[in-house]
Amino acid sequence: MSFSQEANKLFDAAVADYHKTDDVDAVMKNPYPAQTIENVLYVKNWIDTVQWHLEDIIRNPEINPVEALSIKRRIDKSNQDRTDLVERIDSYFLEKYSSVSVKPTAVINTESPAWAIDRLSILSLKIYHMRKEVERKDVSADHISSCQKKLDVLLEQRKDLSSAIDQLIKDIENGDRYMKVYKQMKMYNDPNLNPILYGRK
């Protein structure tokens, strides 16, 4: 089984596990051993899934402004956690292929494997929720038809992205491409870089 196949299977399972309670405050029960790439991928998708639902909640036009601010700050933290996990996934690939002899003709990719895997995780959520729309019984046939077309596109997108990820990993393994990881260096969370925060000192 290829890396993308394993990841898609794991992401789908994590999404399904979350929806057993469908609660943004539910406790995650990661079935994979700590320090494994499977564990990290599961956590990554769980965070994505919780954030997906927080984004739904905050768009309620009747939400209490105080609650909305609390959720917004929770989403900000979630975004930072997601970025940290993407960097951990890239570190896994850097370590795994650290001994590969890079060919003189090797080229760098426009994005690292982990940022492509990040998009794969989000796709699992889009597919799950679009499939739910297709399965609804309280909507028109036009709604179902429209959502089925979107679902078909999402499934094709996952197939194409999965293939591209596996090819990228193979190219890195063979020395035809090489990785560089640039830390995100987000400034708004850093009290030394955000002028609103350091201006308050």
d(CA 191, CA 7): 35
Other CB atoms within a 10 A radius of the CB of residue 181 amount to: 16
Cα(156)–Cα(163) distance, integer angstroms? 11
Give the pLDDT score at 184.
Answer: 66
pLDDT digits (tens, 9 = 90+) for 14-46: 999 999 999 999 999 999 999 999 999 999 999
- Tell the residue number behind the tokens 């193979």, with chain if given: 170
Q: pLDDT over 90 for what percent of the chain?
A: 87
Q: How high is the pLDDT of residue 191?
A: 75
Question: pLDDT tens per residue, the chain (201 residues)?
Answer: 999 999 999 999 999 999 999 999 999 999 999 999 999 999 999 999 999 999 999 999 999 999 999 999 999 999 999 999 999 999 999 999 999 999 999 999 989 999 999 999 999 999 999 999 999 999 999 999 999 999 999 999 999 999 999 999 999 999 999 998 777 666 666 777 677 667 765
Has this prediction a pTM greater than 0.75?
Answer: yes
Q: Which residue has the tokens 């400034």?
A: 187
- Beta strands of the chain (E only): which ranges? 107-108, 177-178
- Largest Cα separation within the chain, whole Å, is 59
Write down the pLDDT at residue 185. 63
Phi, psi of 177 (to 5 degrees): -135, 160
Residues 57 and 101: their CA atoms lie apart, in Å, by: 49
